[in-house]
Amino acid sequence: MNKKQIALIVLAAVLIVLFFSLDLGRYFTLEALKANREKLAAFYAGHRVATVAAFMAIYVIQTALSLPGAAVLTLAAGAVFGVVLGTVYANIAATLGAVLAFFAARYLLHDAVERKFGARLEKLNRELEARGLNYLLFLRLVPVFPFFLINLAAGLTRLPLGTFVVGTMVGIIPGGFVYCNAGASLAAINSPGEVASPRVLGSLALLGLLALVPVVYGKIRSRL
C-alpha cells in the first residue's frame, strides 16, 4: 500500500471519527428535519443554488463515507425541493457518492483482492462483465441489500464503471421517488421506516426481479 492510499484511508477515518465524536448524526434525524423544515424552505427560497449545492455536497459525502442518514436526506430533498426536483437532486448526489465509494474500494483494495482471490472470482467477474447491469439493478431495486455494501463490493470486482453508474442511477429512482414523495408530506411521517411499507417493499422487489428476467432467459436459452 503506497503513501497516497494510506493518506486516503487516514482522511476517511478522520472524517468518520469526527462525524461520530461531534454527534453530527443528530442533524440527520426525522425530528431535526421536522423542526428545521420551515427554516430550510425559507433559505432555499432566497438562496436556491447555494441550498442545492450544499445539500448535494452533504449527500455525496454521507454516501461516499457510508455514514447514516441517507433516508432522512432523501426525505429532506422532497420536503425542501419538492417531489420531482428532490428526486433528481438526491439521485445525482447519491450516485456521485456511490461512485466515490466504488473508486475508493477499487483503488485501495481491488489489487489485493485480485491477487488473493482472482482465480475464484474469475467466473463472477465474467458474469458481471456480461450481465452486470441486470444484477446491479436487482441489488439497487430490492431494498434488502445495504447501499454502501453494494458500492464497496462492486469496486472489488471488474464491473465496468459505466455499468455501475447507469445501474445505480436508474436503480435508485423508484426508492428515491417514494422517499421524496413522503418528504413532501413530512408532517404525516413519524419515522423513516413508515415510508418503506410492505406494499412499497413488495413493489420494489418485483421491479428487482424483473431486472433479472433477461439473465434467467439467457441462461435457459444457453442450455437448450
**Domain residues of the chain, as ranges?**
3-223
The residue ranking higher by pLDDT, 122 or 68, is: 68
User: How high is the pLDDT of residue 87?
Assistant: 97
Whether 61 contacts 127, CB under 8 Å: no
**For 77-96, what is the mean pLDDT?**
97
- Is residue 13's pLDDT more than 90? yes
User: How high is the pLDDT of residue 118?
Assistant: 66
pLDDT tens digits, one per residue of 29-46: 999 999 999 999 999 999
Counting residues of the chain whose pLDDT is more than 90, the rounded percentage is 61
Counting residues of the chain whose pLDDT is more than 70, the rounded percentage is 98
pTM, entire model: 0.90
Whether 108 contacts 9, CB under 8 Å: yes
Lowest mean per-residue pLDDT among 6-10, 101-105, 119-123, 175-179: 119-123
**For 78-90, what is the mean pLDDT?**
96
Rounded distance, CA 140 to CA 145, Å? 8
Residue of 98, 84, 79, 89 whose CA lies nearest to 195: 79
Rounded distance, CA 20 to CA 135, Å? 33
- 3 state DSSP class of 23: coil
Whether 152 contacts 105, CB under 8 Å: yes
Residue of 163, 178, 174 whose CA lies nearest to 141: 174
Whether 54 contacts 89, CB under 8 Å: no
- Is residue 189's pLDDT more than 80? yes
Rounded distance, CA 191 to CA 156, Å? 34
Rounded distance, CA 102 to CA 137, Å? 16
Q: Residues of 123-143 as b/e, b for ≥16 C-beta within 10 angstroms?
A: eebeebeebbbbbbbbbbbbb
187 contact partners, CB below 8 Å, separation of at least 6: 34
Residue 195 gets the label, from left (phi > 0), alpha (psi -120 to 50) or beta, of alpha
Whether 75 contacts 175, CB under 8 Å: no
- Is residue 167's pLDDT more than 90? yes
Lowest mean per-residue pLDDT among 65-79, 160-174, 202-216: 202-216
- Is residue 214's pLDDT more than 90? no
User: How high is the pLDDT of residue 224?
Assistant: 66
- Is residue 197's pLDDT more than 90? no
